[in-house]
Structure 1
Amino acid sequence: MLELKPDQTRQYIDAVAVFEALEEARSEARSTQGGMYWHAGPTHNRAATYLVRTSRTGAEKSLGARSPETEQIYERFMARKRDNGERVLALTQQLEQHRRLNRALRVGRVEPLVVKLLSKLAATGLMDHFRVVGTHALYAYETAAGVRLDTGVLSTRDIDLLWDTQKRVIFATRLARVDSSMLGVLKKVDPSFRLRKSQLYTAVNQDGFEVDIIRRMKVGGDDHPIKLSKAEEDFYVVQAPEAHKLLYTAGFSQVLVATDGTMARMNTLNPQAFIRFKRWMASHPDRDPLKSRRDALQADAVQQLVDRYL
């Protein structure tokens, strides 16, 4: 492993500070999505005017007749909405400057497609239902440690997303707000994504990059198979042995930087859980010998990160 240069570390710290401030600003801005307006009755009588709150989806709710109290509600809401918008815009502009510096100083090395995918899942609220597992988790660990692992440890052309079956109803509601299918969400990231006919838990794009969606093994009254939406074409989530140990363990969150300087947050496993899982896979009798050696290598690499940095 190779430690980052001081100027790279400094730039990463500064960029993350702006990124996290923008995360908070966007969260606050969501509370003022939609709008408010004064609705006058058919006589256009001021006394018969009502304050109406509109949601992001167009739903409306009356907040009461016009009065000093509702006028204050209106003024406070509009002021907050204006302030939120200005703050998000200013921080977005600052983050763009940091993107350029990230790229110039070669701060990141994650594939831009991965960062774009994570950003889309975060923006739609779907990331709350997934954990990144597998090789891509190594990017989170090395970033937290401020080092670069050997490329042979990190090389991969797929990302594994572990889905929480217990939040299935909430997931379906959120997915319906942003698209008709999970595959549709991926297509907004890269239109070339298609499901593999031989394994419907995998989508692959024209460059051969794959997204796999996995779940814990069926327990009790769990449904199986599970399709992520009612759309004609969408993921069927595949069962993965020992996946429950990855889902119900402490998490790990880290802001990553792509080679083009863009940034996104990855939610994954804590490093110790990764090490235990990889050692279990490496010792499994049915595991391909080539993959077993790679599993052991990755477990050793993360153990070194834990011992020396994390």
Structure 2
Amino acid sequence: MKETELEELSPAATRQAIDAGKVFAALEAARAEAAQVRGGMYWHKGSKARPDTPYLVRTTPAGGETSLGLESEETRLIYERFMTRKAAAEARLRQLREAMEQHRRMNRALRIGHCEPLVVKLLNQLAQADLSDHFRVVSTHALYAYGAEAGVHLQAGALATRDIDLLWDVQQRLRFATQLARVDRSMLGLLRKVDPSFRLRDDQRYTAVNQDGFEVDILRREQAETDPHPIKLSEADEDFWVVQARHAQQLLDAPPFSALIVATDGTMARMHTLHPLSFVRFKRWMAEQTDREAPRRRRDLLQAEVVEGLVRDYLPQWAEAR
């Protein structure tokens, strides 16, 4: 790999990236803890049968309610433990968010990130909706994860793109549908929480594009015997119809890889993608497809060479062939 294809972070930027990453990881854990105590508990006045005896009710963020039993030593202890745990979780989450804002400013001041803020917002929205595990970034944007793990900035030639490809695991479609329904009516609706200008393309219903021309594509493996086809991500009137992609099953089978990426505004997100050498093999395969435009094939080959060089020079722990 040519030195002109990357720029190593300065020692100060490297230290800041490490410190910010630790706080972000702690924030992820705090969010998971807070999610376990979402909703609340309260004492209901009593039932018709026992109007003088309150009973404990657990509430959900969606407005659901479950009775946990009449007031007793046991239910009072449940209530006290829940409220203590909830208060502690919320306090820790608040403190870590404040710390993360300080790190965001430092990240920006030291120019640690060079990814578009929109990508970070999208990944964080998926994480907040508990949908991250259903997608892998398999496009050019995966290079941000590899570069971040290596502590380098890759140059624009390998990163030039205005779209992100999200590979969806069709085998988990029922679990995905259940979780999506908890947070939004559609995947497009979830995407519009990131940018309200996103619209599905009339000629490609698997692609959403915003007012700035940035595209989000949702891909799936080629149809297997057990797969329904075609597939729409929700029952909403307007939502993604997921497109079949060649070689996608190999990408789903590849070992996972995740890293914290940083945007130009200092915000951070965790990106889930695939083992870097699996990415290399995929890009080399893409470069050999004669039905693909020549400029795209040249970029595929460039990206394969860049990631291969990153593994060799900066990520030896990922050098095992996969």
TM-score under structure 1 normalisation? 0.97
Aligned residues: 310
2:175 equivalent to 1:186: no
Correspondence for 2:134 among 125, 129, 133: 129
Q: Deviations over 1:64-121 (max 9, x none)?
A: 2211111111101100000000000000000001111111110100000000111101
Q: Is the 8 A contact 1:134 1:159 kept in 2?
A: yes
2:278 equivalent to 1:287: no
CA distance in structure 2 between the partners assigned to 1:186 and 1:51 by the alignment: 37
CA distance in structure 2 between the partners assigned to 1:274 and 1:194 by the alignment: 29
Aligned equivalent of 2:319: none
Which amino acid in structure 2 is aligned with residue 49 of structure 1? Answer: P
CA distance in structure 2 between the partners assigned to 1:96 and 1:246 by the alignment: 35
Report the RMSD for the aligned CA atoms in angstroms. Answer: 1.3
CA distance in structure 1 between the partners assigned to 2:72 and 2:52 by the alignment: 8
Aligned equivalent of 1:227: 232
Which amino acid in structure 2 is aligned with residue 224 of structure 1? Answer: H
Correspondence for 2:20 among 15, 19, 42: 15
DSSP 3-state at the match of 2:205: strand
CA distance in structure 2 between the partners assigned to 1:194 and 1:51 by the alignment: 45
CA distance in structure 2 between the partners assigned to 1:125 and 1:146 by the alignment: 28
Unaligned runs of 5+ in 1: none
Which amino acid in structure 1 is aligned with residue 37 of structure 2? Answer: T
Aligned equivalent of 2:180: 175
How far is the alpha carbon of 1:45 from its aligned partner? Answer: 6.3
Correspondence for 1:243 among 244, 248, 256: 248
Distance 1:51 1:216, change over 3 A: same
DSSP 3-state at the match of 1:218: coil
Q: Is the 8 A contact 1:47 1:66 kept in 2?
A: no
2:79 equivalent to 1:74: yes
How far is the alpha carbon of 1:44 from its aligned partner? Answer: 10
Q: How does 1:93-172 map to 2 (within 5 A)?
A: 93-172=98-177
How far is the alpha carbon of 1:287 from its aligned partner? Answer: 2.0
CA distance in structure 1 between the partners assigned to 2:306 and 2:8 by the alignment: 14
Aligned equivalent of 1:41: 46
CA distance in structure 1 between the partners assigned to 2:78 and 2:183 by the alignment: 30
Q: Is the 8 A contact 1:183 1:234 kept in 2?
A: yes
Q: Is the 8 A contact 1:192 1:205 kept in 2?
A: yes
How far is the alpha carbon of 1:48 from its aligned partner? Answer: 2.2
Aligned equivalent of 1:214: 219
Q: Is the 8 A contact 1:253 1:266 kept in 2?
A: yes
Correspondence for 1:266 among 242, 267, 271: 271
State the identity as a percent. 62
Distance 1:218 1:72, change over 3 A: same
CA distance in structure 1 between the partners assigned to 2:42 and 2:126 by the alignment: 32
Correspondence for 2:205 among 200, 206, 210: 200
DSSP 3-state at the match of 1:48: coil
Q: Is the 8 A contact 1:103 1:260 kept in 2?
A: yes
